[in-house]
Structure 1
Amino acid sequence: MNQYVLIIIFYIGLIQLTLTGILYYGLYLAIKSDKNRREEVLYSYRDYDFNIFGKKYCLMFIGLLSVFIIPIFGFLYLYWDRLPEGFGFSFMFAFIVAMGLFIVLFFIKHRIDIYNNGIYIGWRFITWKGFEGYTIKNNKIILIGKRGVIIPIHLNYNKKIEDIVKNYLKRI
C-alpha cells in the first residue's frame, strides 16, 4: 500500500471521528439543556481562577507545571548537543509559547453568575443540587461540593451573595 493512501485513510478517519464527536456533543447538549436552563441572573461579578478554586487549584497548577517542566529540562540538559539542527530553537519556542499560555490562563478573570437554579463559573454551570452546603472563612463564602463530584468553590463575601446562597444551601 502506498504511503499516500495511508495518509488519506488516516485523514478520512480523523474527519469521521471529529464529525461523530460533534454529533454526540450536540446530542449531549440537547439532552442536558433542559436540566441546566439558566434563568435570570441574581448576582454577577468577575474573579480569578485561583481565588475561585482556592489553594488546591494553585498547588495543582504548580504540580502540573513541574511534572511537565522537570523532564523536559532534564531531556534538554542530557541531549542538547545530539539534537538535530534547528530542533532546539523550535522546541524552545514551543515551550515558551506553552508557558505563556499557562500563565495567561492562570491570570484570566472569569465571570461568576448566580442564578435561581445554580451557579455559572467560567464555562461550567452547576445546579444547587451539586453542593452539600456552605461555610464562611477568611472573608470567603465556600460552597462545599458533593464529595467526588465538585471541588469547593470560593466566592467573595458579600451580604447579597450570602443571602442568595442561604436560600438554597444549609450552613455547615
Structure 2
Amino acid sequence: MEILSNKKVRSYGHIRHDEISKLIRSIRSHGEPFNVTNMLLSYTSSVTARAAFGGMLKEQDTLISFMKIGVAFAGGFELADLYPSLKFLQILSWNKHQLLKMRRKLDSILDVMLNEHKHKLAREKRDNGELVSENIVDVPLQKQQSEDLDVPITDDDIKATIFDMFMAGTETSSTTFDWAMTELMRNP
C-alpha cells in the first residue's frame, strides 16, 4: 500500500511527463529511421529508475542488459526442466550457472545503490520521522529499520523486490508500448 498507492503513483506524474517530453524531443530530432523499441525501453527504464531509485543509476544500462538476459533465460528450455528429480541435470544446467554469475554482478550494483539510500535516509530524516523525499527504495528500508515487524526484511529481500519492480516496470511497459505502436502502424 505504501509503495504503489494511488497517491504515490500520482506523485510520480512529473517523472512520466518529464521523460515523455525527452522521448518526444528525441523522436523529433531523428531525421532518419530509428529503433522505436530501444527508445521505448529507454523511456520506461528511465521512468521506473527515477520512481524506484530517486534518479537515474550509473549502472542503468547494465541493469537493462541483466533484465534482457533474465527474460531470455526464463523463456529458455533446459533438459533439467523436464526431469527435475535428476539432480545431475541441475548441476549441468548452463542457465543456472549464467544466472548465478549475473546475480553476483547484480548484487554488487544493488548493494551500492542500497547503501547510498541507507545513508540518505539517515541524513534526511525529519524530527517527526518522515522523509523529505521518498522513493520506492526508501519505503522497505524504513520498514526494515522499524521494530514492529513479525518477519524482518533483509537487504536481499529489498534488492529482489527492487529488481523485480524495475524489471516489471521496464519490460512489461515497453512491450505494451511496442505492441501499441505496432497496432497504430498497422491501423493508422
Asked if Structure 1 and Structure 2 have the same fold, meaning a TM-score greater than 0.5 normalized by the shorter chain, the answer is no
TM, length-normalised to structure 1: 0.25
More strand by share: 1
TM-score of the superposed pair, with normalisation by structure 2: 0.23
> Which structure would you say has the larger Rg?
1
